[in-house]
Structures are given as C-alpha cells and as structure tokens.
Structure 1
C-alpha cells in the first residue's frame, strides 16, 4: 500500500518523465487528492512501468489523440484502441494499468484514493461507494472533467499564482463529481443546508482576510468550526454568496484599491501587499474583476490625467 499517493514523480517515473508537476489538496481529512500533468513530445518507445499498487483510481483527461493505444492490465494487453483528445479515462491502480508508449502524449491524471470516496459518501450520508464503473481503454465524454481540467492546467502553468483555497475547492468538486458519475453516489438530503452562523461567517472571513496570500487551506478553516470541508464550503457560499477562493480574490482586489489611494506606492509593492504573486498576476486579476487596469483605476480614482502618474 502506497503511503504517499500516485502523483507527481511517483506517477511520472513509470511514464519515463523527468518532470511531472502536480497540485495537491488534503481537504478531505482521510486522504490527499492530487492532479498531475504528464507530457512527452518525444518519448522513448516501450511499455510504461508499473504504478505503485493501491486501492485508488487515476482519472485521466487527454489533451491529444493517441491512435492504436495498447492498454495493459495485470500483465497482459486487454484492448487496443484510439484514445481521443478531450475524453476522460479511468484506471484502477489495483489492476496494474500500463500502456505502450510509442507516440507523443499529453494528459492530466487525477489521483483519487478509496479513502477519499469513502469520506465523500460518509459526509453526504450515502452508502459506501463500490468499484467505479469503467472499461479499460474506453473514454467518456465528460464536460465537467474537461472544464475542471482546463482550470487545473492553467493553475499548473502558474503555480505561484494559484492559491490553496482554489485547489481545495476544485479538487473537492472533482471528487464529488466522479463519485456521483462513475460511483453511483446518491446524495442524501443534507441536514445542514443553511449557511454559517453569523459568528462563524464573521470569523471565517476574518481568517481569510488575514491570510490574503491564500496559503491557508480549507481544511484548516473548516476544522476551527469542527465542520467537514464540503459542509463549510457550501455554508460559506450560502452566507457570503461566493465560494471561499473567489471571496478571497475579491478581498485582494479591495485591499489593492485601498493601497492605491496612497499615490507613491509602486504597483509591484501593492501587488505583494494585497496577496498577489507579482505585479502581472495583480494586473490580470484586477483587470478581470474591475474592468480596467490597476494603473487606469488609480488615475481615475485620483482624477489624474492619463500619463501623469
């Protein structure tokens, strides 16, 4: 049984990759969840190595076609098929999934251990999930995984700009989707359908606002109220109208606006003070949220003609 999980280099090594960037969350108390990017534009031909065996699944989103893919399980070829870009494929790590590497490939692999599926079922009051439903080498047209995958791919491209709250929220959404779509999870009516108590909402917002860099995890905040991450995230959104990571981005923008009332502060300093990774990150987020660049907003706020600041 693997104690570390099949992600990052533990996933990249059997695919003969030197680099396999990943994002990890521990928003479920029972297990880590992770997403890893795998890409090789000029692979050395040969059968992939074996992944560490454990009671867990890999869910893969493919970004390029891979014709005549030879898929192996338990030491033998089980199917030869065309893998389609944009499709989702499942792998059971108990079955020693492997494939013949003889063409360029580019994929995301989501690591989903059995303990995470059990935790999701427990939190929703549903029966334990059995084996996920899939056939080796058969892809699924899954728009939700495509959407989440695109968001994660962008986050992997800019790891210094990706806050932990975003990773926690999106991975929890991914795990719940897989549990329902491929595991038959039946959601039970949640007895905690309301928002946070006013004192809880106030304290949660204060905790987030005091950590604008986003390094505080959902698990840490939820634990302060003795709530599961999924319950806390849902209740926070009901109370504030936004999920925690989006609420945090709004607070960063508001903090930057307050700092920009001080004319002599450079934008690069404001960016760091407001929790952004750097000035270009600040400019991109601020412009998307407000509709104008930080420089233009500051000029307008001070009534200064363009070019004077």
Structure 2
C-alpha cells in the first residue's frame, strides 16, 4: 500500500474487507488528519494481513470482540502470540510495519494518530514534544478510550448526525489522552487560561448559531479568536459549562422550541430548520435534553398558550 494514512479505505484493504469501513476524521491539530475507523468481519479472508507504508504515525486499537491467540508481526517477523480480549486497547507504531494473522472473525475501532497531530498538541500548549508512544505488545484496560470509542460508534453508525464539532471534540480528547497516558505528555499552564472574554464568547456563539448543522470545524472558530483549539475548547467550557458541540445541541433545542410555538411547521420541518439531520435525530436529542418528546412538548406549549389567550 503506497499511500500513507491508516484509516478508511486503506485500513479496509489492510484487513481485506470487501467494503470501505465507516470512518470519521478531523483536522483540528495543525491540520493533521486524526481518524477513527470501525472494522468488522464475521467471515474474513484468512492469512497474514496487508502492510502499510511506513510512516511516523500510530494506530490506537480498541478491540470490540475477543480474538484468541492473536499472532502479531512487526518488521517482517513474528513478535508475539496472545489472547486479545474485548474492551482492551493496543497501540501500534506504523514505522514498525505491524501486521497480524487473520484467522477468525474480528471487530475493532482503530484511531489513526499521526506524529504531526501529537506535535501540534504540544505546540498549542507550549509543552515539550513527546519522544514516542509506548507500543509494547500488551493490552491496556483503558476506560477513557472505551468511553470515547462508545461515543464515536454512534457517529459511525449515523454519520449524517455526527456534527463536525462533536467529532473534533472527541478526537482532540483522544489525542490528548493517548499523549498523556502512553507518551508522558504534560500540558503546560497557559497564561489567561480561564474562561473566554465576553467579546470572545459572543463571537464564538455567533459562529455556532450561524451554522446549526455543526459543519464548521473547531479549528475555524478558534482561529477566529486567535486561540489554539485546545485553549478555545477549555475556555469555552469554562464560560458556558458545556463543550462547543453540546452547547450547539442545546441551542438547536432552543431554536426548535421557538419554531414549535408557531402553528405552521411540522415536526420534520422544525427538525431540519433547527439543524438536525432528520426527525428521528431531532426526537432523540430533544427528548434526552428536555425529558419529553417534541410532540408532547408542543402540545403542552400550545395548550398553555390557548389557556393564556
């Protein structure tokens, strides 16, 4: 495989999958591509996996299915053979040509993290760059990777509902966690690291409100304020109590409530106008935040309005 970037189509070819596996990607750290790909096969093509072009990057793999007696290869020779358990995390250095013997069904999430993203994380916080990640061939019981993986699997299943702010937020969290846990990275305290100034918050909210679909990346909003992505994310949360993607969901709900107080639009029209992918997406998010379905809320609001009238 001549091109770099161990995700999506190239990862599918590495595992000899018939279809391109679902992938989400961000470019929030120095425009470096960080991606997550879900790979699964209940009837795999047997044999040694493919080989990636060597690059200064890592795969962080969350196993979603047991894989007994997994035979791992590096640099053209067998490295180890061990039982792999669902829920464990493994790290692979793509400079070492990691491969494994495919001889049974598999299911995993693979996070592609290039060196440039890790360097960008350090540069944004003014910290020392890490030397390397610990890629010893052992499984890690990593609850944070499991949590991020579970959140992103929802987006992989419903990509039209996964707004870019959400993907950016999760990928930034993954990169920071991996750098700290397996690379010894330490954030350096930033001056003025509190909440956003009122003018910054107003401008950030204006940008978010102007793009209810959430397609605007975190990097673009942070750049508008002259801040790094990581600094902006922390400062926005300090100012509002919510990360940007959650704030946007709540704003969508506020917009939907305003629209539903009107008699005209249907719930499906409200959903699209408020930035949701479809009515079912609208119903799930609205019910989770408000505690009742949009239809029930609208009936109560209309009833209250008629009584007041």
The answer to whether the 8 Å contact 2:2/2:52 transfers is no
Q: Distance in 1 between matches of 2:81 and 2:70?
A: 5
Q: Does 1:252 find its partner at 2:252?
A: yes
Q: Does 1:36 find its partner at 2:37?
A: yes
Q: Does 1:70 find its partner at 2:77?
A: no
Q: Which residue of 2 aligns with 1:152?
A: 152
Cα distance, 1:232 vs structure 2: 0.8
Q: Which residue of 1 aligns with 2:232?
A: 232
Q: Which residue of 2 aligns with 1:211?
A: 211
Cα distance, 1:2 vs structure 2: 7.5
SS in 1 for 2:183: coil
Q: Which residue of 2 aligns with 1:307?
A: none
What TM-score results when the alignment is normalised by the length of structure 1?
0.96
Q: Which residue of 2 aligns with 1:281?
A: 281
Cα distance, 1:3 vs structure 2: 6.6
CA deviation string 1:85-113 (max 9, x = no partner): 00000000000000000100000000011
Q: Which residue of 2 aligns with 1:294?
A: 294
The answer to whether the 8 Å contact 1:2/1:53 transfers is no
Cα distance, 1:38 vs structure 2: 0.6
Q: Which residue of 2 aligns with 1:115?
A: 116
Q: Which residue of 1 aligns with 2:51?
A: 50
Q: Which residue of 2 aligns with 1:268?
A: 268
Q: Which residue of 1 aligns with 2:307?
A: none
Q: Distance in 2 between matches of 1:13 and 1:4?
A: 13
What TM-score results when the alignment is normalised by the length of structure 2?
0.96
CA deviation string 1:171-191 (max 9, x = no partner): 000000000000001222222
More moved, 22-31 vs 167-176: 22-31
Q: Which residue of 2 aligns with 1:182?
A: 182
The answer to whether the 8 Å contact 1:192/1:231 transfers is no
Q: Distance in 2 between matches of 1:169 and 1:3?
A: 27
Gaps of 5+ in 2: 305-309
SS in 2 for 1:100: strand
Q: Distance in 2 between matches of 1:265 and 1:8?
A: 39
1:30/1:160 CA distance change after superposition, 3 Å? closer
SS in 2 for 1:299: helix
SS in 1 for 2:276: coil
1:239/1:299 CA distance change after superposition, 3 Å? same
Cα distance, 1:200 vs structure 2: 1.1
CA deviation string 1:55-107 (max 9, x = no partner): 00000000000001000000010100001100000000000000000100000
- C-alpha root-mean-square deviation of aligned residues, in Å? 1.5
CA deviation string 1:91-143 (max 9, x = no partner): 0000000000010000000001111111111222221101111312x100000
SS in 2 for 1:150: helix
Q: Distance in 2 between matches of 1:43 and 1:3?
A: 24
The answer to whether the 8 Å contact 1:33/1:110 transfers is yes
Gaps of 5+ in 1: 305-309
Cα distance, 1:19 vs structure 2: 2.2
SS in 1 for 2:113: strand
Q: Which runs of 4+ in 1 moved over 4 A?
A: 1-4
CA deviation string 1:15-73 (max 9, x = no partner): 00122110000111241111001101100210000012100000000000000100000
